[in-house]
Amino acid sequence: MLVIMKNDATDEQIQEVILHIERLGYRGIPIPGASRTAVCVIGNQGIIEDSQLASLHGVKETLRVTKPYKLVSRETHPQPTKIDLGPVVIGQNKPVIMAGPCAVESEKQALIIAESVKQAGAQIYRGGAYKPRTSPYSFQGLGEDGLRILSKVRQETGLLIVTEATDISNIELVEQYTDIIQIGARNMQNYALLKKAGQTDRPILLKRGFAATIEELLMSAEYIMSEGNGKIVLCERGIRTFADNTRNTLDISAIPSVKEVSHLPVLVDPSHAAGRREFVIPLSKAAIAAGADGLIVEVHYDPVHAVSDGRQSLYLEQFQSLMIEIAKLNI
């Protein structure tokens, strides 16, 4: 942390700041500048409570320079993390494509979509058994029956499975059935769930909350990692902005922003960002071109009758086109 002194701060005020820092158990090093002095705080392991420091006489402001996250930071771990799922590795050079319906609706529905996305080149199958819906009256998912269907999909197709745990009450069950546990945007700051996710053995797909900064996303990942699970894939899925041409605004800059400061792989969900299937292919191409480690895409053979998110789900043929378009990017 840096304590920035006012232009007219006196030597006594600077000394008082240094003493205060020492009373907190750290060292304060004054760095005189052209017009003002900054006092650098060193020796702290975690975040410093800065409200008292900020209110000392002569202090203009305090600036955090050390990142509040440690384990997910590139400073701690300079090499990019690879998530090894056996047949699939996330974070290697080739983008990993996850595809499937928003929700598992029936065994027939799940298997038809799975066979098709597999044929087109997807490696991981998505489908919600527990659905976090905005309305309590909307379809909430098939629960454990949905998880059983996902196991069947794995067995029949060899695709790996990603599915969401929505609560601490279902994460252990989800863990038994899935290869990757998804934590959805609405739960990005559900700290009890994050801690539980940190205690499982499964890789976690952590989606960015729609009003969360990159730092908040990384702090949530830090929760998981500080419990012992380092297998985390982050996912940009669109954030809320004033723009109303899409359901959410895909923050393409999240990809290089995360990669600049963290070693964790980043996926993009163009479906929940766009909210309209017409935009899913261009957003997917943009994401891959910007360095995303993969995509998670909603696909349905009959999106008009899908129980959730039909408007943004690609038809099977459109998913095939998406895979062809991505291959052309040569990444």
Residues 264-323 that bind Mn ion (CB under 5 A): 309
Of the candidate residues 48, 56, 97, 102, the single one contacting ligand PEP (CB under 6 A) = 102
- If one asks whether residue 272 binds ligand PEP (CB under 6 A), the answer comes out as yes
Question: Which residues, including other chains, have CB under 8 Å from residue 165's CB and lie 6 or more apart?
Answer: 130, 171, 174, 175, 181, 182, 183, 193, 197
Of the candidate residues 9, 185, 239, 264, the single one contacting ligand PEP (CB under 6 A) = 185
Of the candidate residues 67, 231, 237, 259, the single one contacting ligand PEP (CB under 6 A) = 237
Structure tokens at 239: 């954030």
Of 19-27, 141-149, 179-187, 275-283, the window that binds ligand PEP (rule: CB under 6 A) is 179-187
Minimum Å gap between C-beta 101 and Mn ion is 8
Of 108-116, 140-148, 149-157, 183-191, the window that binds ligand PEP (rule: CB under 6 A) is 183-191
Give the Å distances, CA to CA, from 79 to 132, 179, 260, 294, 301.
34, 24, 11, 18, 40
Minimum Å gap between C-beta 126 and Mn ion is 9
67 binds, among Mn ion, ligand PEP, none (CB under 5 to 8 A by kind): none
Q: How many residues bind ligand PEP (CB under 6 A)?
A: 10
Minimum Å gap between C-beta 296 and ligand PEP is 7
Of the candidate residues 28, 100, 128, 198, the single one contacting ligand PEP (CB under 6 A) = 128
Of residues 132 and 310, the one with the C-beta less far from ligand PEP: 132
Minimum Å gap between C-beta 152 and ligand PEP is 20
237 binds, among ligand PEP, Mn ion, none (CB under 5 to 8 A by kind): ligand PEP
Minimum Å gap between C-beta 148 and Mn ion is 20
Minimum Å gap between C-beta 200 and ligand PEP is 18
Residues 55-114 that bind Mn ion (CB under 5 A): 102
Contact indicator for 256, 74 with CB cutoff of 8 Å: no
Of residues 222 and 309, the one with the C-beta less far from Mn ion: 309
Q: Which of 159, 161, 130, 126 shows the shortest CA–CA distance to 143?
A: 130
Taking residues 138 to 157 in sequence order and writing x for each that binds ligand PEP by CB under 6 A, - otherwise, the string is: --------------------
184 binds, among ligand PEP, Mn ion, none (CB under 5 to 8 A by kind): ligand PEP
The binding site for Mn ion (CB under 5 A) comprises: 102, 309
The binding site for ligand PEP (CB under 6 A) comprises: 102, 128, 132, 184-186, 207, 237, 269, 272
